Structure formats: C-alpha cells, structure tokens
Amino acid sequence: MGEPLRFISFEGPEGSGKSTQAGRLAAWLRARGASVTLTREPGGTLLGQEIRSWLLHREEPMGEEAEFLLYSADRAEHLRTIVRPALAEGAFVISDRFVDSSYAYQGYGRGLDLDWLRAVSAGILRGVLPSLTFLLDLPPERGLARLAGRDRLEGESLEFHRRVREGYRSLARSEPERFVVLDAELPADELENRITREVISRWPSLSGS
C-alpha cells in the first residue's frame, strides 16, 4: 500500500491559530528536505484573492447559495493551478482551509443543505481530498477575542460561530481517520509537537530526515 496523498489541511473557527500552525508545519517539513506548497482558501490564487476580498469585505448583502458558489469557484481554480500540480510533482500541499470550511460555514452556519453542498463540491474535487485534516478547536468566544479586527464572517453573531464549531465537530466525528482534533488553547509549541508527531505517523520516512 502506498503512502497517503501528501495533502494536509488546517481547519477551525475564527482565531484558532490555523495559519500559524500551517506555517510552522511547512517550515518543519522544509527543514527535513521536503518540497512544500503552503496555500490557503480563499485567496491562494490571483482569482482567489479577488474573490476573497469581495467575499470578506463587501458591504452589500449576498444570498447564501451565491456565497457558497463563489467559494467553490475559488476552490476550483485553487485545485487547477496550485493543489493538483504540486501534488503531481510530489510536494506536500498544506492548505489553510479547504472544502470542510464550506460545509461548516455555509452548511452548518448558514443552514444550506449539506447534500447539495457535497454534490456541487464533488464535481470540483474529483476525488482530491486531504489525507490529513487538523481541526483546531476552541469556543468561539475565545477565538473571536483573539482577533484584532473583524471581516464580514468574523462579524457574524455568536450563535452563527457556535453552529460553525459544532459543524466542524460533527464533520470530525464522521471521518475520524482523516480528522485530528486538537485543543487550540494549548501553547503553540505544544500544538506544533502534536501536529508533527501525527504527520510522522502518517509519513514515517520523515522521522529519519
């Protein structure tokens, strides 16, 4: 049996420290000689940057379905131009958010039908999913308090963010082989140690690098 697809995602509610830990893991892998592509959703591509700016900082209202479809457009371009090419070259791809964010935010948070979200996403993903997803979990009150400013999603109600958190937990329970749930309130170094130990358990060749 071959090794897992070298695709790792970081998920979690606002202020959970995903970006920090994704960057730390990328640096750790590079120090061991691995080729790494560190990216994010939305905004990993030039088109994605435009979509990200419009989605997170616009003032006019938008329907939930349109919001999801814009995130999906970003994901399609992200996969086409960054994720698939990097994986084909044998690189590790580390993504700060991926499709699970849509299920948590637009599904559980906004209340869109999860079956519809998954059906649309299936045509975009075409079987490409992270082999390993770290869910950095914490109460939304704590996460939001960490933020210096608020974009449109961060400014949603506390109840919205609670639904998102519960959505993530439900997703993790449904795929325990892919998700690793970590307490985001642990010290950053402790989180990094737990993350790298998990990565070594999935890709043992890294232990001797």
201: annotated binding-site residue?
Answer: no
pLDDT at 142: 78
90: annotated binding-site residue?
Answer: no
Apex 87 CA angle, 168 and 25, nearest 5: 55
**Model confidence over 63-72: pLDDT tens digits?**
899 889 989 9
**Tokens at 110, concatenated:** 């906004």
13: annotated binding-site residue?
Answer: yes
**Mind listing the domains of the chain with CATH numbers?**
7-204 (3.40.50.300)
**Model confidence over 99-136: pLDDT tens digits?**
999 999 999 999 999 999 999 999 999 999 999 999 99
User: Percent of the chain beyond pLDDT 70?
Assistant: 90
Residue 17 CA: distances (Å) to CA of 12, 118, 120, 137: 8, 26, 29, 10
107: annotated binding-site residue?
Answer: no
208: annotated binding-site residue?
Answer: no
**Model confidence over 147-187: pLDDT tens digits?**
655 556 666 788 999 999 999 999 999 999 999 999 999 99
